[in-house]
Structure 1
């Protein structure tokens, strides 16, 4: 089966070069607490699950599931095998989670079992793993309705070794209802002689309604595909129409079996694009930018075509297209800039920055054919700024809090990107808000300029000493699950 690998790279145009830091806010976050009548079913790693991939897949599993079709509705599984749902309409009057499905009691006796996992397939369907290797496809009805109807299992199959459900989708093809389910396992690989001896397996199952028109629904497996890789994916999902998979991981995955039959595996495509030698090199200080452009051998200064304005540059050789052309990252002073041919093979250009201090992210906007060489001065400046942004001083006077927590367990973001949040293993959650205008006049003491907007950070400390097991966000609320409590934090008032 065909597979293409692409390298994911940072789009630096999305980064705000003027962003300074988060300012710690002491504004209280309204926090509401639901005490659970039974503990959340936490399955801890066993001695045989000792690899980093076991930890990523199962040790850091998020036990709380957010319903994407019904805002502010979350689900989890407790130690009694109950799938519990809580929908929030009024924070100050939180009800008790209600049972929508119960897993068979026999599931808890399996020695190699994993945590139960849920994937909301559509507005009326869900996929469930009991943690022992059994897959359930459940007709839920419209979950947003006020009715307390139980979920109805219409398909159940023992698929073999235990797994977790990564993703599922529902679609209709040629009048037939299909459900695509993606399962994850970590298995011993007898062909693996190096490393831990484990590999990561993704099983993609298509289940279809085989009943005729007017007959009772009957679902059967239509197709199975198995992929293997060496790392747990950061993201894996089935394409909405069931036409393919999207997998983002550190190492590639390849198809190994389709409907139980081995797949002839071609050599996987390289993850990295073939690199070409840079056309130019550039370096900068606080005052100027130096560019070295490769020239064809034997070029004289009379053949050099050089044009510079405050905002644009064009460098080339007579009779050829420009080697470097476009809008500069920031204005320069053309009168104080100059060029010279070095060793008859390169053109060295010195550009005088019009504004001293700011660091250029690139030389010419959108041009990726050059290579930036960091000067000692710039390295020291970046180090100073990074130290400033990652200060561990949590005092109010500094107003800055370390952004990359060493004890971080989960990270999430509101669907409308109004805030991002991360939590530690115990008790604390950190909320980072988008920059917003300030009502009072503030000045940057280092640069002496007025600050028009501030990005706030808030810290919430839960009244609990139990480990955080689940962490989800909606536009208005942040949900945090421990073994005995479900906390609801009102982050936004929309």
Structure 2
């Protein structure tokens, strides 16, 4: 089954075409800090970790972790193998970080270890990696996340890895933790390119019931790709996986899923459920019906973005979200020969061409109209010629690279957003680079709502758009949740930027440079005084502010996290807290 080509639907109500700029504010930002007893367990890249993938995955790793269920609480690992927690309730009375867990093994004894990684799976479970190849599942007993964590499960999995994401869900009355791990492996046979590939391992672990005490590894699935993913997260129900990457990923078959793949291939060889055609105004498809079917037996429901077709009291045999919006009041159907039903959908966006009828449904077969094919071939005839173009630049070239600014050029404009099904291990929805994905460039990800998947931010034109993924079969897999005006353009001009994030409530966005400086960009807010735009002579009702904070330390910034009220900045020997907003 081929993946459905999708697009990200921008909510125009969340865009501000009249946004002018950020106004620099000199309002002071309270900054407090606490010195660390032991340095952060930073792991430098080795001589054999020389590729861009190694730098993106390990060299730019965020050593500071936040607990989405407990605001203003951050964690890090120090050189003694301790996980320490700083929970802030009063900025002016910062206490020392408290030890909540200590890795049982000596981390310094492993020559090829990676940085330790932490991910908060649920309100009372944490997934850990010590960077040596061992996975830990830790239980949090206290509701306020204070006190010691209790180790419940650990297992050696092989090569060192970092934890990207983890979830807890219930299936058939069994609690399951799904974990997504990343490692960069050397290609022994394929030496093209960098000589390495990126491996994502998706592991499912069943938690013991009250009568049992044994954890069970249910599944281990692997994906391989040629670039480090910008974003990778498991759906809350464990049924799917979403990845944003520069180069595509694919599942590596094993004995466990070989039979499932063969079964899927056999299903794909069945006769099509319907055949369809389209014009500039209509999409028409025909479904075969049991002989003797009457008009009263057929039930068809049209909606602007959905269609449902069923017979008598049976379950619908064809339903789902349409590729594009239709005029449901003008859409019709007719019964032919008591054996076929012909459905005509009136396109709302006249002239647009559909790639499929129902998103993700591959039971249909497209039949091209010979007249349309001839017309398209004639339109494209000028693009093929046996003669070389004597003037390739022409008087109106399609693009003048000299007019592009440096921050408009990106090597990763063709990144792909892909959703994989957890059962078939195949891509079901794809937003490809180019026309569908536009000039979007990945900016950052964060957890806005702990119960949902992490959000991700993409550059759209000059803005930064925040998208909230929804698990399939949602009508809209990716919801446009917020916009940071002009921030896509602003961040692209920062040469030394290292980490980029925003507050969970989207009240501000922030980025930090490698050393010292932090830039804060607030959402537009109403102004108390009367302001006018000098050029246009109109009154300005809202102003977006930019603020700059500078740390006293000149050490490299190793970690960066944001809450609705505070920014947390981690260096080798100090954890700083910047008060950004006052609590309501």
What residue number does 1:412 align with?
501
SS in 2 for 1:468: coil
What residue number does 1:214 align with?
211
What residue number does 2:102 align with?
102
Identify if the C-alpha distance between structure 1 residues 99 and 260 changes in structure 2 by more than 3 Å, giving closer, same or farther.
Answer: farther
Which of 219, 243, 248 does residue 247 from structure 1 map onto?
A: 243
Structure 2: distance between partners of 1:127 and 1:483: 24
Cα drift, residue 241 of structure 1: 1.5
Larger radius of gyration: 1
Cα drift, residue 192 of structure 1: 2.6
Structure 1: distance between partners of 2:194 and 2:29: 45
Which of 153, 160, 169 does residue 158 from structure 2 map onto?
A: 160
Q: Which runs of 5+ in 2 are unaligned?
A: 266-277, 282-345, 352-374, 376-395, 409-461, 464-488
* Conserved 8 A contact 1:236-1:245: yes
Which of 225, 228, 233 does residue 232 from structure 1 map onto?
A: 228
* Conserved 8 A contact 1:223-1:259: no
* Conserved 8 A contact 2:167-2:179: yes
Structure 2: distance between partners of 1:484 and 1:172: 41
SS in 1 for 2:252: strand
- List structure 1 segments (4+ residues) > 4 angstroms apart after TM superposition: 5-10, 258-267, 276-279, 320-325, 373-376
Q: Which runs of 5+ in 1 are unaligned?
A: 268-275, 280-319, 326-344, 346-372, 391-400
1:413-432 aligned at under 5 Å gives the runs 413-432=502-521
Structure 1: distance between partners of 2:26 and 2:280: 49
Which of 187, 190, 201 does residue 189 from structure 1 map onto?
A: 187
* Conserved 8 A contact 1:479-1:488: yes
1:121-200 aligned at under 5 Å gives the runs 121-144=121-144, 147-148=146-147, 150-200=148-198
* Conserved 8 A contact 1:3-1:254: no
Q: Encode CA deviations 1:320-360: one digit per residue, 9 max, x unaligned.
A: 999969xxxxxxxxxxxxxxxxxxx9xxxxxxxxxxxxxxx
* Conserved 8 A contact 2:76-2:85: yes
| Matched positions, count | 380
Task: Give TM-score, length-normalised by structure 1.
Answer: 0.70
Structure 2: distance between partners of 1:53 and 1:88: 35
Task: Verify: 1:60 aligned to 2:60, yes or no.
Answer: yes
Task: Verify: 1:117 aligned to 2:206, yes or no.
Answer: no
Cα drift, residue 210 of structure 1: 4.4
Task: Verify: 1:11 aligned to 2:10, yes or no.
Answer: yes
Structure 2: distance between partners of 1:82 and 1:278: 64
Structure 2: distance between partners of 1:476 and 1:433: 12
Structure 1: distance between partners of 2:218 and 2:347: 56
Cα drift, residue 17 of structure 1: 1.1
* Conserved 8 A contact 1:206-1:222: yes
Identify if the C-alpha distance between structure 1 residues 375 and 108 changes in structure 2 by more than 3 Å, giving closer, same or farther.
Answer: closer
Structure 1: distance between partners of 2:18 and 2:45: 44
Q: Encode CA deviations 1:170-206: one digit per residue, 9 max, x unaligned.
A: 1222222211110001111234332101111100001
Identify if the C-alpha distance between structure 1 residues 172 and 10 changes in structure 2 by more than 3 Å, giving closer, same or farther.
Answer: closer
Identify if the C-alpha distance between structure 1 residues 225 and 44 changes in structure 2 by more than 3 Å, giving closer, same or farther.
Answer: same
Task: Verify: 1:460 aligned to 2:549, yes or no.
Answer: yes
Structure 1: distance between partners of 2:347 and 2:242: 40
* Conserved 8 A contact 1:5-1:252: no
Identify if the C-alpha distance between structure 1 residues 192 and 446 changes in structure 2 by more than 3 Å, giving closer, same or farther.
Answer: farther
1:392-403 aligned at under 5 Å gives the runs 403=491
